Amino acid sequence: MKAYPLKFKTIFKPRIWGGQRLREVFGKDIPVGEKIGESWELADLPEDKSIIVNGELAGKTLAAAVEQYPEQITGDRNFSLPFPLLIKFLDAEDVLSVQVHPDPETCRRMGKGDPKTECWYILSAAPGAVLYKGLKKGVTRDAFASAAQAGTAADLLEKVPVEPGQCHFLPAGTAHSIGAGIIVAEVQTPSDTTYRVFDWNRVDQTGKGRELHIEEALESIHFDVSGLDLPVTTMGRLVQSRHFTIDKGHQAKSCEVLLSPSKMKTLIIISGCGVVKGEASDSVEFRAGDCLLIPATYEGAAFFQADSEYLTVTL
């Protein structure tokens, strides 16, 4: 295989808190009239696997391509699947549930679930929009359990005003919620395990509320960490963790960035457009809202045709 940038078919996820703004912001071809909360851009979960849409690997899943060409794509002939990233865009037209994701130790202790650490890059935020991010200092397990039963758990979380361009890192075990009016790019470990504590008393079309998982949440939350301890970054190296690294880049119109053979990387295009060209492969166009996986052995350059911002994710 001649390495080339891989693009994927988007997987849309209806959510009770979602909307239609991913069409407005990125031109996503989302189903008209549906509340689409998430567009999964790169995924390798049992029920949701990204399918390549360009080049000679078109029609294959990401996992199948990596299994067939591990060294060319990842740089490691012994690369272990599943692919260790899940990348998505979220449209929180309404507030998300108060929730938590477990860490590996909690999953082992409970004998279920998959661990999830994540980060949110704020793409847009309505005036006054907030995140609920981590516990207020001094909140105990007993206090949170009582609040969860009373439907007041959100009152015990730090309420953080947000602005576009911020990156919020949330390690596993952090109680959180995304407030209404926010669109984010989310990078996370490959898990869809979510334990809901409070869902703002919402009901579906049948009058039924979503399932809560208070006992599992209490087992998962790190009560020794306050929301005030969690970092917020805006420039350069946004995240440095054992799971993934994220760097923010900006290029003016007519600039180019060389893509020499090195680490496999994923580019999340936040704004602008351009084309990636290599001597041994066809050019690949990109625009805001695209996610490109650049194989470790690829050699070429990204040419920016407009003022552009992007995130580079490496393992």
pLDDT tens readout for residues 200-257: 999 988 899 999 999 999 999 999 999 999 999 999 999 999 999 999 999 999 999 9
Q: What values do phi and psi take at 70, rounded to 5?
A: -65, -45
Say if residue 280's pLDDT is above 80. no
CA 6 to chain centre: 18
Specify the DSSP element, H or E, that contains 215.
helix 214-220
Say if residue 281's pLDDT is above 90. no
Q: How far apart are CA 145 and CA 141, in angstroms?
A: 6
Q: 282 falls in which pLDDT band (50, 70, 90)?
A: confident
CB 101 within 8 A of CB 222: no
Type of residue found at 228: L
CB 211 within 8 A of CB 196: yes
The side-by-side arrangement of strands in the sheet containing 308-314 is 237-240, 245-251, 308-314, 265-271, 291-294
Length of the chain equals 315
**Which percentage of the chain shows pLDDT scores above 90?**
97
pLDDT at residue 298 in the model? 96
pLDDT tens readout for residues 7-27: 999 999 999 999 999 999 999
Say if residue 291's pLDDT is above 80. yes
Q: Give me the mean pLDDT over the 271-291 stretch.
A: 93
Domains of the chain: 11-234 (2.60.120.10), 245-314 (2.60.120.10)
pLDDT at residue 174 in the model? 98
Q: Average pLDDT over the chain, rounded to whole?
A: 97
141 classed as catalytic = no
Say if residue 313's pLDDT is above 80. yes
Of 282 and 245, the structure prediction assigns the larger pLDDT to 245
In the chain, the N- to C-terminal Cα span, in Å, equals 22
Q: 279 falls in which pLDDT band (50, 70, 90)?
A: confident
Say if residue 156's pLDDT is above 80. yes
pLDDT at residue 65 in the model? 98
Q: What values do phi and psi take at 20, rounded to 5?
A: -120, 10
Candidates 21, 196, 210, 287; catalytic one: 196
pLDDT tens readout for residues 30-66: 999 999 999 999 999 999 999 999 999 999 999 999 9
Structure tokens belonging to residue 213: 């998982």
Helix and strand tally (H, E) in the chain?
6, 21
Q: What values do phi and psi take at 110, rounded to 5?
A: -85, -15
Say if residue 129's pLDDT is above 90. yes
